[in-house]
Chain A
Amino acid sequence: MGNVVVNTATKLDAHALRADFPIFEQEFHGKPLAFLDSAASSQKPRQMLEAMNRFYETSYANVHRGVYELAERATEGLEHARERTRAFINAPSTREVIFLRNATEALNLVAYSWGLNNLGPGDAVVVTELEHHSNFVPWQYIAKRQGADFLMLSIDESGDPDLSQLEEIARDHTVKVVATNLVSNSLGTIHDLVPLVEWAHEQNAIFVCDAAQAAPHMKLDVQALDCDFLAISGHKMCGPSGIGALWGRAELLQSMEPFLLGGHMISSVRADKTMWGELPHKFEAGTAPMAEAVGLGAAIDYLEAIGLDKIEAHEHELAAYALGRLGEVPGITLYGPSAERRAGVVSFNLEGIHPHDVAQILDLQGVAIRAGHHCCQPLMHKLGVAATNRASFYLYTIPEEIDQLVEGLYAVRKVFA
C-alpha cells in the first residue's frame, strides 16, 4: 500500500525549515542559538519578510482612500490578507474578521464593546485559572466596573478546568460570558472546549476563545468550535508584530458599539450625529496596520504550505522528547499534561534555583528560554511559585536544541551546587 513512504513524507523536516529563518544564522555567546521561547513570539521566515518588503516596495499607499491605482493595490493587499485570515480560521465571512494590533487588543475590544453594554449586577463572567492576563484582566476590570461577578474556574494538574463547579455557578448567577484559552501558553494544555462551549450556550452566554497560543500550532475552525469570538496574534505564528485579528459573529459585532473612534470607522459624520461604518471597518479606526496584515497573510501561506497537522505532530514529538530528557535532570519539577495533550510548551522548576538564575546561566550557553510568570500569575499562585522556567517549541525547533537545554541545566546545577 506504500504506507511507509507516505508516512515519512508526511513528517516535517525542521532541520530543513530552519534555513527559512535568518535569525538562526547568528551565534550567541559563541554558540548556535537554541531558541526555546517561541510561545512568547515566533521567529520569522524569509518568505513572510519578503512579502512585507514587496508590499512596501511595490504596493504601498494608504488603503481604502485613494482612487489612484497604487492605493487600490494596497487595498487589495490588505483585503487579500483578510481573506487568508478568514480561511485560516474557517470564518463564514471576511466582514467578521477585524484586524487589530494583537490578541490582547482583540480581547479588550470584546470586553469593552460587548461587556459595557451587556453586563450588570447579578451577571457573571467566567474564566479559568489558566488564562493569560490578556484574557483575565480585561474581564476582571469590566466586570468590576459593571458590578458583575468575575469567577474563575479552578484547574487540575493538567490544566483542565474543573467542570463540577459549573452547576453551582449556573444556579447562583446569570452567566453572560465564558472566556478561556484554547491552548495554554504556560502549561501547553490543549483544551477540549466542547463541554464549556455547550454549557455557555445553555446559559445564553457568549463564548470568547483566546486562540493566541493555538493558532500557531493547530488548525482552527470557528464554526466547528462554535465560539462567538476568537482572538489571534500574528507574531506568534510567523507573522510580524503589530497585527492580530478578532473574529466575531456578525450579528454580535453589528449590535456592539465601536471600541476606538475616528477615521475610517464611520459612514457619515455631522455635527449632531455620526453613523458607524460597515463591518469590519466599524472596528478598525485609523490607518490599518496594512503591511503587517500582508505579513500575516504571508505567514498563513507559509504555515499552510507546511501543513498545520504536521506542525502539530512535530510539536507533540518534541514535547514528548523534552519531557523525557528533562525528566532525567535531578531536582526538576515538570508542570502540565502528558505530551499528547500539549502543544510545544514545557514549564519546569529546578529545586532551590530561581528561574531567573536558570535562564541567565542558560543564556550564557546560547539557550533562550523564558523565566517568569508568563502573564499567568493566577496559575503561579495555584502552583505555589512566583515563577517557572518555560521552554517552548515551534516548527523550526530541533531535538538538538532540547539537548543543549538539558546540558545547560546541568551547568546551572553546578553553579548552585
Chain B
Amino acid sequence: MSGAFDQMYREVILDHYKNPRGHGTIEDPDAEADGQNPLCGDEVSIYVAFADDGETIAEVKFSGRGCAISQAATSMLMEMSVGRTATEVATMEKEELLEEIAIPLTPVRLKCAMLGLTTLKVALHKAKGTPLPEGLAGFDELELT
C-alpha cells in the first residue's frame, strides 16, 4: 500500500512541490495568462520574458495554488521551458511533460498535471497572436456574460 503512495508521490514530485522552481511573478511580462482547473478551483498564472530575439524564453515564472501534482508539474515545466523558443514550447507535446512527471495519473489528476502547460501555451499563443489550437480554444474566456 505504501508502495502505491511512493509511486505517485515520488521524492522528486514532493521536492518540486515543496521547493517550486520558477515560483514568483515577472513585472511587465512579454506573455502571461491565467488558468483555472474547474474541478477544484485551483488557479495558476504564468509570466514569460523573452530574450532580445523576441522568441527565446529567457525567464518564466508561475504563481497560484494547487495540489502537489499541479504544482510539481508546473515547476518542472518552468525548468523545461527556459532557453527554448516560444514556438517550441507552444507546440510541446503533453507526453514530454508526462515523461518528466513519470507517475501514474488518473484522468482527473491528468487535468491537474496539465494546468501549467495549458496556461503557458495560452500565454505564448496570445503573445504571438497565433490562434489557440483546438482543445485550448475558449480556455481563456470562460467568463459569464
**Which residues from 92 to 113 on chain B have a C-beta closer than 8 Å to any C-beta of chain A?**
109, 112
Taking a contact as CB atoms under 8 Å apart, the answer to whether A386 and B43 are in contact is: yes
B41 touches A (CB below 8 Å): yes
Residues of B within 8 A of A101 (CB): none
B1-9, B73-81, B82-90, B116-124: which lies at the interface: B1-9
**Category for how many chain B residues contact A:** 20 to 34
Distance (whole angstroms) from the CB of B73 to the closest CB of chain A: 12
A372 touches B (CB below 8 Å): yes
**Which residues from 354 to 390 on chain A have a C-beta closer than 8 Å to any C-beta of chain B?**
354-357, 360-361, 364-365, 371-373, 377, 380, 386-387
Residues of A within 8 A of B43 (CB): 386
Taking a contact as CB atoms under 8 Å apart, the answer to whether A364 and B1 are in contact is: yes
Interface string of B24-46 (1 = CB under 8 A from A): 00000000000000011111000
**B65 partner, pick from A360, A386, A415, A416, beta carbons under 8 A:** A386
Interface string of B58-69 (1 = CB under 8 A from A): 000000011111
B142 touches A (CB below 8 Å): no
Residues of B within 8 A of A411 (CB): 2, 5
Distance (whole angstroms) from the CB of B33 to the closest CB of chain A: 18
Taking a contact as CB atoms under 8 Å apart, the answer to whether A387 and B5 are in contact is: no
Interchain CA distance A361-B109 in the complex, whole Å: 12
Closest to B36 in A: A386
Residues of A within 8 A of B70 (CB): 356
Interchain CA distance A364-B1 in the complex, whole Å: 7
A410 touches B (CB below 8 Å): no
Taking a contact as CB atoms under 8 Å apart, the answer to whether B40 and A387 are in contact is: yes
B14 touches A (CB below 8 Å): yes
Taking a contact as CB atoms under 8 Å apart, the answer to whether B67 and A354 are in contact is: yes
Interchain CA distance A159-B8 in the complex, whole Å: 36
Residues of B within 8 A of A372 (CB): 39-41
Taking a contact as CB atoms under 8 Å apart, the answer to whether B41 and A386 are in contact is: yes
Taking a contact as CB atoms under 8 Å apart, the answer to whether A356 and B14 are in contact is: no
Contacts A140-B144, A357-B69 given; does A29 touch B1 at CB 8 Å:
yes
Taking a contact as CB atoms under 8 Å apart, the answer to whether A357 and B68 are in contact is: yes
A2 touches B (CB below 8 Å): no
Interface string of A12-39 (1 = CB under 8 A from B): 0000000000000000011000000000
Residues of A within 8 A of B9 (CB): 357, 361, 415-416
Distance (whole angstroms) from the CB of B90 to the closest CB of chain A: 27
Residues of B within 8 A of A386 (CB): 40-43, 65-66
Interchain CA distance A144-B145 in the complex, whole Å: 8
Taking a contact as CB atoms under 8 Å apart, the answer to whether A356 and B69 are in contact is: yes
Residues of B within 8 A of A355 (CB): 40, 67
- Please indicate which of the listed interface residues B5, B65, B69, B109 has the most CB atoms of chain A within 10 Å of its own CB: B5
Interchain CA distance A388-B83 in the complex, whole Å: 38
Contacts A140-B144, A415-B9 given; does A377 touch B1 at CB 8 Å:
no
Residues of A near any B CB (own CB < 8 A):
29-30, 137, 140-141, 144, 354-357, 360-361, 364-365, 371-373, 377, 380, 386-387, 411, 415-416
27 contacts between A and B (CB under 8 A): A29-B4, A30-B1, A137-B144, A140-B144, A354-B65, A354-B67, A355-B40, A355-B67, A356-B67, A356-B68, A356-B112, A357-B68, A364-B1, A364-B5, A365-B1, A372-B39, A372-B40, A372-B41, A377-B41, A380-B41, A386-B40, A386-B42, A386-B65, A387-B40, A411-B2, A415-B9, A416-B14
